[in-house]
Structure 1
Amino acid sequence: MTTGTVALPTAVSIPPADPRLVNGVDAVLEVARELKIDSPEMYEVAAGELREIVARKKRLEDARTSMKKPVLDAGRNIDAFFKPLIDTLAQAELIYKRGMLAYEEAERRRREEEERRAREAAEAERRRIEEEALRRAQEIEAQKKAEAEAIAQELREAGDDEGAKIIVEQAEAEAAAEADHVLQSAAAEAQTVAPVVPFAPPPRAAGISGRENWKAEITDAEALIKAAAEGHALAKAIVVRAIQEAGNKVASQQAKSLKGELNTVPGIRAWDDRTIAVRGAK
């Protein structure tokens, strides 16, 4: 990168404007305001004035261009001097920004992966607690029933069938209550198990911050239009906005060739915005 080949201007020489072009413009406007075009003769007078105005405008524009050229040339030289410097720094800026965005994305994915693993670990721990509680509840029920059945068997052998029945029913009720208590306690404990994610603050640097910059693109115009036609509110809003922003330009381009025929298209109004053309202005 070099800048020594471009000379920075220290002064700009601007040629003076021709007084004959500059003076008397207000008078031309006053004449235009006073002139009434109400006959073929006055129409011709207006046409002559109009030709002179257009010719004078052209001479003024030429003078403006001539006077402005040194300034524009100086501006171009200044731009040419600074552009390679700014472009070089812009490349360095882009490299840093891309690298920092890539790091932020990698950190985001790493945090998401850690959160996923933490959720899976917490879910596995909850399942372990619940499965252990279920196993314990089943053991309690089996033990209570076995103990009750042994006592009930002795009562049956002694001829007390009714007493045996009562013992078994009591044991089943106690076993169910104790098992339910175990399961409820385990459920409460499982609810307290939360994912443990190592704290990792997002990258920070003085004067630097990441900002969201959402964008969108239309990948299937037909699908979007179909959704709008079917009543999808957001799709309809997008289609209407797109037509309003770009449609007028497209319709105006078509109107140049189709003219009034374009009025046969629903939702479009075509008209002749007639103008006056001036030829021979010098």
Structure 2
Amino acid sequence: MPPRVQLFANPQSGTHSARRIAALRRAFESAGAEVIESESSAAVPPEIDPLATHICVAGGDGTVRHVAAAVARGRHAMPIAQYPLGTINLLAREAGYHPDARRFAERFLAAAVRRRHYTATVRDEMFLCCASAGPECAAIRGYSPALKRRIGRFAYAVALVRTLLRWERHAMVLHAEGRSFPCEAVYIAKGRYFAGPWSFAPRASLLDDKLHVVALGTARRRDYLRFLLDLALGRDPGARPGNISFTCSHLSLDGPAHVEVQGDGDLLATLPLEVRSTGTTMDFI
């Protein structure tokens, strides 16, 4: 019986490409698979086909997160992969998925060894790669989908510049490992990468169940720009005076009720909340 690939895409995404998705479908079919095209978007929640043997998400990290959550809720056991068609593609970057449709399809269908990715939650919402409570949440809230369709990831840069002009600081308290830390921004890595090819926790891994945390004691404009500079230069932002870094499996964060937390590029919840490594895994290729 040929493999049956359920291919998810988000047609509402600013990076959606019908041409590339059609090429990926042809690549799967040329490799001997049957393909079920499905949608995962704000208007159409993902539904897992019970006859599918593989799940492929042609989209960004947020779409992967939604589809993976649907797989987990249904207790399905089929492997998942991300075809890098989103803005950032953190999971695809860490897993080394190739953007060439033929090479991607051949690897996906031929893989005998699965990568067991540990998941985490913000409150009850799953995330796979990273979460944060910081200025980037305001940028996510304020970016323009129309502009994203025209200039891609640079729409977030435009939104971040606007955030810098209308700067807000929020006093929070991070609780973990029996200690409490006053802070103004918190970054949580489940995987290695954050916002692109950068990392504030290079030892973090999707294959590890630990949360890698960096907290900024103050988040003035210059503190945040130093944080971005540390990312660009590969330096540890937790080593700066007033900041902290550590690993844990559970933390809680208190602060103003309007402060938002993002996970994998989606705004997930507001404070106060808990973040946990679930200790459970999902199969990726």
| Bigger radius of gyration | 1
Please indicate, yes or no, whether the TM-score normalized by the shorter chain is above 0.5.
no
TM-score using structure 2 length: 0.13
Compute the TM-score of the two structures, normalised by the length of structure 1: 0.13
* Structure with greater proportional strand content: 2
